[in-house]
């Protein structure tokens, strides 16, 4: 007799692991900066003392490098281990949502991409953002069926909103509740009410070179025009 066992779905938490590891990398970078400042000051002090202090300087520099190396290496190892543990725990939660798909995570990851986006993309980090159309907290595939579902009232008059450095698609509704008494109000929703156009919001890695983002935008707009549910007139 064969026995079947039910396999539980495991969430993809590589972004969470990468986020914790990146924090450790920041600690390592800070440690290296402090080490360099320390050694520079020490060299100046030993230089004023002259040749008699040379043996003490060599001993000091050797010990300092070992200590700072151990601190930095320990931070890197600790961050990696912590990332693995945290990610493993989160993976067991079927309701886990990637950091970039959460309201606060969206803002944080977008700011991170603005600062180190080229590095994240070059190292193929799961924290690197692609250029995507957004609806709420979701990426929308540039496919006719998906676009029809997310834009059921699509018109042929389309306005594409491209945010600035370190921002995200939610930047268009900042302070909306204070100014318009509606936290969901955006530039696009107000233009839609006034003119009937359809607003489309993008999110992208603002840390990439302008030419790279220009190429990504060119391809996305071409696909958007081809896949839009109704003929685009403007």
User: Where do the structural domains in the chain lie, given as residue ranges?
Assistant: 14-93, 97-234
Q: Where are the beta strands (DSSP E) in the chain?
A: 132-135, 138-140, 158-161, 198-203
Percent helix, strand, coil in the chain, to 5, is: 60, 5, 30
Q: What average pLDDT does the chain have?
A: 73
Mean pLDDT: which of 168-182, 185-199, 217-231 is highest? 217-231
Question: What percent of the chain clears pLDDT 70, i.e. is strictly above it?
Answer: 55
Return the DSSP state at 133: E
Confirm if 62 and 25 have CB atoms less than 8 A apart.
Answer: no
* Full-model pTM: 0.61
d(Cα 31, Cα 36) in Å, to the nearest integer? 9
Q: What is the pLDDT of residue 144?
A: 96
């Amino acid at each position: 007799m064969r026995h079947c066992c039910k396999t539980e779905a495991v969430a993809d938490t590589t972004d969470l692991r990468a986020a914790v590891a990146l924090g450790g990398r920041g600690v390592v970078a800070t440690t290296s900066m402090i080490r360099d400042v320390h050694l520079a000051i020490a060299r100046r002090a030993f230089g004023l003392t002259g040749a008699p202090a040379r043996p003490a300087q060599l001993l000091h520099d050797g010990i300092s490098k070992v200590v700072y190396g151990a601190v930095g290496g320990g931070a890197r190892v600790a961050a990696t281990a912590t990332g693995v543990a945290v990610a493993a725990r989160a993976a067991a939660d079927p309701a886990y949502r990637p950091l970039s798909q959460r309201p606060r995570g969206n803002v944080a990851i977008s700011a991170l991409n603005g600062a180190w986006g080229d590095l994240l993309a070059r190292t193929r980090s799961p924290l690197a953002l692609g250029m995507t159309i957004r609806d709420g907290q979701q990426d929308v595939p540039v496919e006719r069926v998906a676009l029809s579902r997310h834009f059921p009232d699509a018109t042929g008059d389309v306005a594409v909103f491209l945010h600035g450095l370190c921002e995200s698609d939610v930047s268009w509704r900042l302070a909306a509740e204070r100014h318009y008494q509606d936290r969901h109000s955006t530039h696009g929703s107000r233009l839609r009410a006034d003119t009937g156009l359809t607003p489309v919001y993008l999110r992208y890695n603002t840390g990439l070179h302008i030419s790279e983002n220009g190429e990504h935008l060119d391809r996305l707009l071409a696909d958007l025009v081809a896949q839009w549910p109704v003929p685009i007139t403007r």
